[in-house]
Amino acid sequence: MTLEYMTGFGNDFETEALDGALPRGRNSPQRAPYGLYAEQLSGSPFTAPRSANERSWLYRIRPSVRHMGEYEPVEVKHWLSAPTTEGGGLPIGQRRWDPVAIPREPTGFVDGVRTISTAGDVVGQTGMSAHLYLVNRSSEDDYVINADGELMFLPQEGAIRLVTEMGVLEVEPGELAVIPRGMVFRFELIDGPVRGYLCENYGGKFTLPERGPIGANCMANARDFKYPVAYFEDVERPSEIHIKWCGRHYVTTIGHSPLDVVAWHGNYAPYKYDLRDYSPIGAILFDHPDPSIFTVLTSPSGEAGTANIDFVIFSDRWLVGEDTFRPPWYHRNIMSEFMGLIYGQYDAKEEGFLPGGMSLHNMMLPHGPDTDAFEKASRAELKPQKLEGTMAFMWETRLPQHLTDYAAGLETMQKNYIDCWKGLKKRFDGTIEGDWS
């Protein structure tokens, strides 16, 4: 499948799969072209300020009310929502996991989601959940609607195809995709089983962070975000629609594909972004900046400077600081940090943090470079160094992240993770040089 995209974060787009399908001069004509139905999809309240108002007009073969039947509740064992405060009976502490294997039994998207941590309250529309997806079967006539929040996909192994109401996104490791709250989509494999990370954002939608004194350029540039062109299916066969609503799961069956939008215009739409297009900003004389300098997208909380979620990446970049400990420093943080590694090596944890793995450092729990990384960075010759072939990320939230029973019981949990700091010596001996023997 050769795909086309439109570019520009948050732009107002218009696109049609059939010439003339998009009405001109009005949103809801008495009779829409091709006998289509006009329908508005709102991602914000009607009266939200113009700068924050999100809506798209869809022109579809059937209105969405015909894509719904009587919903029946279903149990989805591993896809959970906040709050989940049981924590698997574990005491608090720093946690890290090796990669989790993709199941051998046939597993589609919904059954392949594995919730690792939750924060906030899904009904109160605040916070997030961090998941893995482990999938070996494409969804052919199975569709998903998440009414609880927008979904950020980060493939780690294998590319995926997200066929949405508003068009098709193909996403590979090193890219992200975001599907807005309430949008219908189908999850497909492109070339074999897949594993990836999935953030479910219950709160304010992801947007680009303000740059402040950085100015107009760098970080994630709006022009690099890609939106799909209109695509539709006129398919008459039984289809199952799975909806997640207020933390519960329901299904219904209809007699046709719900992906029947022939044309659309607006600014509420799915998108993708190549993380390798991120233009990092860093210190060019001394000291390591706060990791917030690497924020790609942010979900605001309503409290200035305190995010519901910040999405941060640690990608290829130059290190040039003079008289500087160059890896991230040791710290305790009011924010809670879920990290994953898409490929390569993370400079603060050169051993034990593997691609496909993950870690959780909750609010006010100390963390930082392991012993080997500290020793290496403390003794390194400080010439310019380029970190290459690396892509780690972090979902950071102002709320504590609670582990699920599933995460607490994983065999891949590193029981001795805390030992990575065990070799950090006391170097204080009363002299200004300290003991570096």
**What span, in angstroms and rounded, lies between the C-alpha atoms of 132 and 128?**
13
- pLDDT digit string, tens, across residues 6-27: 999 999 999 999 999 999 999 9
| pLDDT tens for each residue of 304-329 | 889 999 999 999 999 999 999 999 89
Q: Report the share of the chain in percent with pLDDT over 90.
A: 91
Identity at 297, one-letter amino acid code: L
Least Cα distance to 266 among 2, 6, 3 occurs for 6
| Residues 359-377: tens digit of each pLDDT | 999 999 999 999 999 999 9
- Cα separation, 36 vs 434, in Å, equals 76
Band of pLDDT at residue 349, cut at 50, 70 and 90: confident
Dump pLDDT digits (tens) for 191-249. Answer: 999 999 999 999 999 999 999 999 999 999 999 999 999 999 999 999 999 999 999 99
Share of the chain above pLDDT 70, in %: 99
C-alpha distance from residue 428 to each of 324, 378, 433 (Å)? 19, 15, 9
Instruction: Assign 43 a pLDDT band (cuts: 50, 70, 90).
Output: very high
Query: What local confidence, expressed as pLDDT, does residue 348 receive?
Result: 67
CB 309, CB 199: distance < 8 Å? yes
Helix (H, G, I), strand (E, B) or coil at 372: helix
Complete DSSP assignment for 228-273? EPP------S-EEEEEEETTEEEEEEESS-S--EEEEEES---EEE
**Is there a catalytic annotation at residue 288?**
yes
**Annotated binding-site ranges for homogentisate:** 346, 367
**Complete domains list, the chain, with CATH:** 69-260+267-275 (2.60.120.10), 279-421 (2.60.120.10)
- From 187, 153, 155, 170, select the one nearest 229 (Cα to Cα): 170
Name residue 382's amino acid: L
* Catalytic position from the list 78, 288, 361, 402: 288
pLDDT of residue 1: 66
Rounded to the nearest angstrom, the gap between the alpha carbon of residue 138 and the centroid of all alpha carbons in its chain is 20
As annotated, the binding site for Fe cation includes 331, 337
Cα gap 97→357, rounded to integer Å: 5
